[in-house]
Structure 1
Amino acid sequence: MFNLEKITRTNIKALKGYSSARDEFKGVAEVYLDANENPFGTLNRYPDPKQIKVKKRLSELKNVESEQIFIGNGSDEVIDLAFRIFCEPGKDKALTFSPTYGMYDVSAAINNVELIKQPLLADFQINLNQLQPYLEMDEVKLIFICSPNNPTGNCFNDDSITYILENFNGMVIIDEAYIDFSSRASYITKLEASPNLIISQTFSKAWGLAGVRVGAAYANSEIINLYNKVKPPYNVSTLNQNAVLESLNSIAQFEINKNIIINEKEKLVKEFSTLKIVTKIYPSEANFILVEVTNANTIYSNLVEQKIITRNRNTLVANCLRITIGSAEENTKLINALKQL
């Protein structure tokens, strides 16, 4: 049975998080002389350490309590803090499914945590039979599930994810960076029934704010309290919080942009299907397409020479390029370049 107290590192349970005077003060003051700030300027004050306005708006949109939301400096901070909270360096382990997002590997290495990479099946689904022994290992504290998955573009079967949630006593982190492009519903709706679930989302993809570097985690309030203890006090800047709020208050434009990207993806799939150098097009529920080509290394290099940058995923999936959906003009340049090849 899942026990949050048991899987949390002892030093994190004992940690007293940094507390500023503004954490301790309730209300709005007229004079702030507590943080050694410069009294002059427009960005001279530290940002809201609790991101109250952003959480309030997300709470309305996602139908969760503000206490169930963590705002991070990109979703990479959500990933990194999970290792810090739940994994003893050099002792505990984490698990993910390969091929997938490379930052799980990097964060694990930084935190001196072994990352087990469970190969996906040929259809890029989870092999529960091979996974079962790891679900029973006390040393495995985290499982990362990227769904829709990067770079494959597919979502994992609900039955597989549900099985993991119900049979793993560690923390399950579902990375939903691309969920806004998917026909699947977010697992945020499963939070109440799954005490070991963390949902990670980002504003870098469908919200068009990659330069802002803001991500979010959704979980029960006990888990979010651990995140808040461990995070730096002012981890998200005022500028970034304001940019997120502006986007969250522009839902109509968000939907317009998202639908344009989805329509452009459909056009690209049709174009790819006519090219002899394209041997397979994998189904995608994200804002990119994984494409198998005749020679990924050569085609990638030829595109680079034409100043078109894609992602060569040949080392992860043989002879595959991951191609992001761009604007109509960018996509036309890509297709014309591929036709020349």
Structure 2
Amino acid sequence: MQTDNPNKETSKGEASQPGQSPLGGWGGLDRLVRENIKKLKPYSSARSEFSGSASVFLDANENSFGSPLTKWYNRYPDPLQWDVKRKMAAIKKVEAENMLLGNGSDECIDLLIRAFCDPQRDNIIICPPTYGMYEVYAHINDVPVKEVPLTTAYQLDLEALEGAVDAHTKIIFFCSPNNPTGNSLDREDIEMVLNNFDGIVVVDEAYINYSKLRSFATELKDYPNLVVMQTFSKAWGLAALRLGMIFASKEIVDILNKIKPPYNINQATQELALKALDNLEDVNTMIRETIKLREELVKELNNTACVQNVFPSDANFLLVKVSDANAIYSYLRDKGIIVRNRNNVLLCEGCLRITVGTERENLDLITAMRSFQSA
């Protein structure tokens, strides 16, 4: 079986069985969608009106003579990226019609908020410390944000979540494995929310390839209100392409396709993604190597004087509590080593977020951190 997560669990273990989702299928989803989106007549592009093969294309006002780069870049790309989705389907075990590709996960977040949240009326819930773009795109769309902080163990506070939900809460965003803490959220807690919240639950799995846990994308049929996000930026090493993924019910995907830009994924990105999908074993090798180096880096950091705690991680980075985060960050920066200072982030006080690098980069980092005290 193909996989882009060679370390994931293949059995359901002791996770609780999903019950009847309160979303209730199409009827429930219809209640969540903004009224103007329901009435929206989407733009009909030339490429969306024609599918199939032809030898003469005179429908889209393209330059018929080609381009300075390659002849085929003068043509608009497939607006729904079917070739990429079909190839991904074999790897992700998700039907192509249950996928939406975005210009990075950021576009996916923006589309979800625009589709379901009425500005100044509806709200979203986030669980800090977490990925900052959920809040940014909510503010861009003039949607209020409710914060329900994680516990000190970096897990969901279900009682506080229940208290925060009101009649205008449309989306709850979970990041698992979480950024910047690196840990996975308890699966049973996320399932509890899916079974009891009558809005959209987004599980952002940008780092899932580095975890042993199985993706929530396998649960789409059980939870009509579930949206799973993944990305080509991390394990696939294609951050420069800006290619994010949504896995959801066909009904949710259809709504998002209605409002996305007609050609949001360019032709070059689609071609390069197809090539990457043909090299799955290379990706799996990189994942295994990253996990190996992550464990080695944990050991070295734990033997470094200025390090007070290395938090467990299911990602390609570590949250590290140090003796003086601001001073060590500046010291490393002066030596040409850039990490992320999370000292001012809730529940991450005194911490640096450190990406797992190559063996050479990790050695340079450890050498510099061990020389900090004597500087």
Could you say which TM-score interval applies, normalised by the shorter chain? Answer: over 0.9
2:127 is the counterpart of 1:97: yes
Instruction: Determine the structure 2 residue equivalent to 1:176.
Output: 205
Instruction: Determine the structure 1 residue equivalent to 2:171.
Output: 142
How many residue pairs get aligned? The number is: 340
2:216 is the counterpart of 1:191: no
Matches within 5 A, 1:112-261: 112-135=142-165, 137-261=166-290
2:41 is the counterpart of 1:16: yes
Kindly provide the CA deviation profile for residues 278-322 of structure 1, in whole angstroms up to 9, marking residues without a partner as x. Answer: 000100000000000000000000011011110000111110000
Instruction: Determine the structure 1 residue equivalent to 2:363.
Output: 332
Equivalent pair of 2:47/2:76 in contact (CA under 8 Å):
no
2:343 is the counterpart of 1:318: no
Instruction: Determine the structure 2 residue equivalent to 1:288.
Output: 317
1:244 & 1:26 partners in 2: Cα distance?
A: 21
Equivalent pair of 2:146/2:164 in contact (CA under 8 Å):
no
Cα offset, 1:129, TM superposition? 1.1
1:205 & 1:115 partners in 2: Cα distance?
A: 27
Once the two structures are overlaid, the 10-residue window that deviates more, 36-45 or 156-165, is 36-45
2:256 & 2:276 partners in 1: Cα distance?
A: 24
Kindly provide the CA deviation profile for residues 72-131 of structure 1, in whole angstroms up to 9, marking residues without a partner as x. Answer: 100111100011000001111000101000111111110001111111111000111111
SS of corresponding position for 1:27:
coil
Instruction: Determine the structure 2 residue equivalent to 1:266.
Output: 295
Instruction: Determine the structure 2 residue equivalent to 1:58.
Output: 88
Cα offset, 1:134, TM superposition? 2.6
Cα offset, 1:170, TM superposition? 0.6
SS of corresponding position for 2:101:
strand
1:15 & 1:58 partners in 2: Cα distance?
A: 30
SS of corresponding position for 1:119:
coil
Q: Give structure 2 stretches of 5+ with no counterpart.
A: 1-21
Kindly provide the CA deviation profile for residues 190-238 of structure 1, in whole angstroms up to 9, marking residues without a partner as x. Answer: 1000000000000000000000000010001000001100100000011
Structure 1 runs, 4 residues or longer, greater than 6 Å off: none
Equivalent pair of 2:123/2:171 in contact (CA under 8 Å):
yes
What is the percent sequence identity of the aligned residues?
A: 47
1:50 & 1:130 partners in 2: Cα distance?
A: 39
> Aligned-residue CA RMSD in angstroms?
0.8
Cα offset, 1:274, TM superposition? 0.5
Kindly provide the CA deviation profile for residues 17-63 of structure 1, in whole angstroms up to 9, marking residues without a partner as x. Answer: 11112212131111111111112222111111110110001111111
1:206 & 1:183 partners in 2: Cα distance?
A: 14
1:73 & 1:26 partners in 2: Cα distance?
A: 23
Instruction: Determine the structure 2 residue equivalent to 1:80.
Output: 110
Kindly provide the CA deviation profile for residues 228-255 of structure 1, in whole angstroms up to 9, marking residues without a partner as x. Answer: 0010000001111111111111011111
Among 26, 32, 35, the residue aligned to 2:60: 35
